[in-house]
């Protein structure tokens, strides 16, 4: 089977060369490498042009999924492998992909996303993989995701994923371009699973990634992930991948607003009880959880606070995207666009 590798990129001069070198050094060589630039303003294009790859362009600032779709439209491989510009593929990456997908048992395969070796000792880079809800997936065991267990499964990231062209064509071989920042691959994966295909998770299939090492960058990433989740929920409201986390966010803030409203009129106990149940209690339980995992003391103390902070920012991103969507909907209802 022929393998096409698709890389969306924007302003990736810092890492793109390392990625391309790692792809050219694969034990199983790719049949084609397609890089799709999204209007880079740095030296990305000049670097890519030095390599034996196919360079394509979006219309500029259209997002990673637009780049993936352009790459898909030009790819000739039976197997399509996706990776991002701020990643490095180990030498057996494509070999493991081909080994699993050539069996025909699975339509798609994904795996872990680990930090670059030079930042693996950074505190926040470790947190991204060790958190209660990991920001970047780490899979310890093989797993097959299907329609029955998808709600309990962590879907693979689009920066370490591959799939069969034939199955993707039947499910709709495109990525939703209006979903940006987070959950970019969820629509595609849900359509595959909904059609009855399975997704294989393999611990052997891992890549290295430029994990965020500054708190500001990490929170910005989580904010965008939250926005992406709402956009996915908006487009696929019946997907079991979408509604559990969305329901938790909506329910929590609905209750918070309701109890705050009661507090204005002197009924403070419900708000106090709610805050105790949703802040100190989870912090204590999370500390116990990390201690049970035998993590260092500093992590047992700091990780729960990071968990609470990142989920708060994630929720804010979700709510901001929801507010913008509903505001636009109301405005267009009041002031319809006349043709």
Q: Are the C-beta atoms of residues 31 and 19 closer than 8 Å to each other? A: no
Q: What percentage of the chain reaches a pLDDT higher than 70?
A: 98
149 and 35 together in one domain? yes
Give the per-residue pLDDT at 260. Answer: 82
Burial of 154 (0-12, 13-18, 19+ CB in 10 A): middle
Q: Are residues 168 and 275 in the same domain?
A: no
Is 321 among the domain residues?
yes
Q: What tens digit of pLDDT does each residue of 3-36 get?
A: 999 999 999 999 999 999 999 999 999 999 999 9
Would residue 99 count as lying in a domain? yes
User: What's the confidence (pLDDT) of residue 165?
Assistant: 94
Q: Which residue has the higher pLDDT, 255 or 179?
A: 179
Does 193 share its domain with 250?
A: no
190 and 301 fall within a common domain: no
The answer to the question of residue 228 being in a domain is no
Whether 249 and 195 map to the same domain: the answer is no
The enclosing domain of 49 has a CATH number of 3.90.550.10
186 and 260 together in one domain: no
Residue 172 covered by a domain: yes
Residue 255: predicted pLDDT: 81
Residue 219 lies in a domain: no
Q: Tell me if 229 is assigned to some domain.
A: no
Does some domain include residue 339? no
Q: Which domain holds residue 82?
A: 3-213
Picking from 213, 231, 261, the residue at the C-terminal end of a domain is 213
Read off the tokens for 153: 């499964």
**pLDDT tens readout for residues 301-336:** 999 999 999 998 999 999 999 999 989 888 887 877
pLDDT in tens, 123-146: 999 999 999 999 999 999 999 999
Number of domains in the chain: 2
pLDDT for res 338: 65
Give yes or no for residue 204 having a pLDDT over 70: yes
Is 324 a domain residue?
yes
DSSP 31: S
Locus of tokens 């609905």: 254
The answer, as to whether pTM is greater than 0.85, is yes
CB 169 within 8 A of CB 63: no
Please indicate, yes or no, whether residues 29 and 165 belong to a single structural domain of this protein. yes
Q: Is 33 helix (H, G, I), strand (E, B) or coil?
A: strand
Examine the domain organization and report whether 47 and 100 are in the same domain.
yes
Q: Are residues 165 and 30 in the same domain?
A: yes
């Amino acid at each position: 089977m022929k393998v096409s590798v698709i890389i969306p990129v924007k302003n990736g001069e810092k890492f793109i060369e390392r990625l391309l070198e790692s792809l050219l050094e694969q034990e199983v060589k790719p049949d084609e490498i397609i890089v799709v630039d999204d209007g880079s303003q740095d030296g990305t294009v000049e670097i890519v042009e030095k390599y034996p790859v196919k360079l394509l362009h979006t219309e500029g600032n259209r997002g990673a999924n637009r780049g993936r779709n352009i790459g898909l439209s030009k790819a000739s491989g039976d197997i399509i492998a996706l990776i991002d510009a701020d990643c490095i593929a180990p030498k057996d990456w494509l070999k493991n992909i081909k080994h699993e997908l050539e069996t025909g048992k699975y339509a798609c395969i994904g795996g872990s996303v680990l930090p670059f070796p030079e930042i693996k000792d950074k505190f926040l880079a470790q947190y991204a993989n060790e958190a209660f809800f990991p920001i970047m997936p780490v899979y310890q065991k093989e797993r097959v995701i299907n329609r029955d267990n998808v709600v309990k499964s962590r879907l693979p990231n689009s920066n370490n994923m591959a799939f069969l062209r034939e199955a993707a064509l039947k499910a709709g071989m495109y990525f939703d371009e209006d979903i940006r920042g987070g959950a970019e691959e969820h629509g595609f994966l849900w359509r595959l699973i909904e059609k009855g295909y399975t997704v294989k998770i393999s611990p052997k299939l891992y890549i290295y990634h430029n994990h965020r090492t500054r708190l500001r960058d990490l929170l910005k990433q989580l904010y965008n992930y939250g926005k992406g989740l709402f956009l996915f929920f908006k487009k696929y409201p019946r997907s079991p991948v979408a509604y559990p986390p969305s329901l938790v966010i909506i329910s929590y803030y609905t209750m918070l607003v309701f109890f705050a409203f009661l507090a204005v009129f002197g009924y403070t106990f419900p708000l106090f009880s709610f805050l105790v149940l949703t802040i100190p209690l989870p912090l204590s339980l999370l500390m116990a959880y990390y201690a049970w995992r035998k993590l260092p003391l500093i992590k047992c103390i700091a990780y729960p606070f990071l968990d609470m902070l990142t989920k708060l920012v994630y929720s804010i991103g979700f709510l901001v995207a929801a507010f913008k969507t509903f505001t636009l909907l109301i405005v267009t209802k009041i002031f319809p666009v006349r043709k």
